[in-house]
Amino acid sequence: MPKIRLKEHNIIVKDLRQTSVLVGYCYPSTYRAGMTSLATHLFYEGLNRRVDTSCERYFRYDVPSPIRSLETSRPLKENHVVAFSLTWEEDVLNLLQMLDMDGIETLSENRGPESPIVLVGGPVVSANPEPYADFVDAFAIGEGDLVIHDIVDVVRDSPSRSDAIASMTEIPGVYVPSAGQSSVKRLIMDDLDDLFHPVAQIVPDVPDGTKLDPVFGKSLLVEVTRGCGYSCKFCMVGHICRPRRARSLDCLKEIVEQGLEKTPVRKVSMIGSSLGDLDGLESFASWIVSQNLQLSAPSLRADSITLELLESFVKGGQRTLTIAPEAGSERMRRAMGKGLDDEEIERAARLAKEAGYIALKLYFIIGLPEESEEDIIDISKMVKNLSDVSGLRITASINPFVPKAHTRWERQSQPGVEQLRERLRIVQNGLRDVPRVEVEGIDPRSARIQAALSVGDRSIGRVIHLAAQYGGLGGWRRAEKESGLRFLSLPSDTERHKAKLPWSFLVS
């Protein structure tokens, strides 16, 4: 843990004598992960543009203190609103630990009039907030760009904490677990061009490639698209973030121009799903690199790739192309709704080589519904073939299927941990002697916990509460045993498929 003050560009420190609402924006994971998230910059800059609000940041790891802000060391509990962004299910333990470390009651029912209001948003709770309901005063369901300001207005104008929370039930997209709302509408922004986009983004003054450097390096994060139009059966983004929306090229260029004036970087990192479907993406990428800027993008669909596009990314310094076949066989990809054929994936690998890439990263899922052993073997066959035809270094990321709320496979079971390990071994054995290939992936035990949290109801809050005290993978097993509740078996429980789903009150 660093003990010296971290130097950052574009931090904002307000005169608290001229503000009414103090917001602690919390990312319950590492500083690096939090600063790679566009949401951190969006809410930080957006809230601090308000004269009446001071927003400061908190992270669980790699900062001097998880409960003292980076800007002024403001104690977490001194904020009127403590707002968490929950991107990964298991980070709920970090969330509870941060509250507890500063004396904020972890159970919402135990908080008093002087306690901060605990607000949680992000993809995890926008799909299924119920496992976390015992700990949270209010959830932002869906895209929180605008609703965060409605929430701050309510906090500013309410005579008491309890009045503020009660008033939040009147805000569309806000779920207050104690209020017993029968339905909550998930917020989706219609026109991205009309939304605020952060341009004075925070940049840490640290050496490149260190643990405090963001994942994409020091760059301007530019949100190009939201949502996805493909609706693969396993994918939460393709279901709860529909429809796919994109910013116009004129808007994107304006963001880049303003951002480079205010953010001391020479790199643009595109953010969004289905980037390759953006009309004019080639033109936008070419425009960026023509200004001697570096450029990167996350995963691209194999069937949207062109040589011209890849050449722009290579000119911008990107050396690894990431694509997600998800399955080794065309049969399995059709079953999951992915819709890519082998020829399109092979073509993408060949184009990557021709454009000047040096590596491929491929994402696959094991343990899928309807999956056969032959489908697993086909993953190894595909990776080997792509290695042969491209000559590139390949990282194959093999990750277990996790059933997600609101997807078409929300009622499907996840295979047991040993079954997942055996399927992973089949892939590893098939690639053991293939040169230039590395296999990675998350621990099946972590995937099991993610799945239980994804499909659980409010009753598992007791397990979460205990696990936060114990920590680690073993802490979950101990918490399940002590609580007497079923937790790790939930993803394989066929009875849950017949019951009313805990998240059915959320509507689009």
Tokens 């009147």 -> residue: 170
| Residue 174 near residue 83 (C-beta atoms within 8 A) | no
Could you tell me what percent of the chain has a pLDDT over 90? 92
| Residue 45 near residue 198 (C-beta atoms within 8 A) | yes
20-42: buried (b, 16+ CB within 10 Å) or exposed (e) per residue?
Answer: ebbbbbbbbbbbbbbbbbbbbbb
Residue 1 confidence class, pLDDT cut points 50, 70, 90: very low
Residue 219 has pLDDT above 70, yes or no: yes
Residue 12 confidence class, pLDDT cut points 50, 70, 90: very high
Q: Which tokens belong to 179?
A: 């209020």
pLDDT tens across 275-284, in order? 888 889 999 9
Which residues in 198-340 belong to E strands, given as ranges? 203-204, 220-223, 225-226, 245-246, 267-271, 294-296, 320-326
**What integer pLDDT is reported at residue 2 of this predicted model?**
46
Output the CA torsion 135→139→141→142 (10° steps): -100
pTM for this predicted structure: 0.96
Residue 339 confidence class, pLDDT cut points 50, 70, 90: confident
pLDDT mean over 300-326: 96
pLDDT mean over 209-237: 92
| Residue 42 near residue 71 (C-beta atoms within 8 A) | no
| Residue 487 near residue 438 (C-beta atoms within 8 A) | no
Nearest Cα neighbor of 323 from 333, 312, 308 is: 333
Poorest-pLDDT segment among 126-130, 273-277, 335-339, 379-383? 273-277
**What integer pLDDT is reported at residue 497 of this predicted model?**
66
Residue 431 has pLDDT above 90, yes or no: yes
Average pLDDT, the chain: 95
**What integer pLDDT is reported at residue 161 of this predicted model?**
98
- Domains of the chain listed by start with CATH number: 8-185 (3.40.50), 190-315 (3.30.750.210), 319-443 (3.30.750.200), 456-502 (no CATH)
Q: What angle do CA 32, 33, 34 make, to 5 degrees?
A: 95
Residue 4 has pLDDT above 70, yes or no: no
Residue 332 has pLDDT above 60, yes or no: yes
Name the more confident of 495 and 170.
170
Specify the amino acid at residue 128. Answer: N
Residue 498 confidence class, pLDDT cut points 50, 70, 90: confident
pLDDT tens across 107-163, in order? 999 999 999 999 999 999 999 999 999 999 999 999 999 899 999 999 999 999 999
Tokens 């802000």 -> residue: 69
The side-by-side arrangement of strands in the sheet containing 393-400 is: 320-326, 359-366, 393-400, 437-440
Residue 446 has pLDDT above 70, yes or no: yes
224-243: buried (b, 16+ CB within 10 Å) or exposed (e) per residue?
Answer: bbbbbebbbbbbbbbbbbbe
Residue 435 has pLDDT above 80, yes or no: yes
Helix axes 373-390, 342-355, angle to 10 degrees: 30
Alpha-carbon Rg for the chain, nearest whole angstrom, is 23
* Integer angstrom CA distances of residue 152 from 28, 326, 412: 21, 41, 39
pLDDT mean over 311-331: 97
pLDDT tens across 241-257, in order? 888 899 999 999 999 99
DSSP string of 276-310, one letter each residue: GGSTTHHHHHHHHHTTT-EEE-S---GGG--HHHH
pLDDT mean over 58-80: 98
* Integer angstrom CA distances of residue 389 from 305, 343, 397, 428: 17, 12, 19, 20
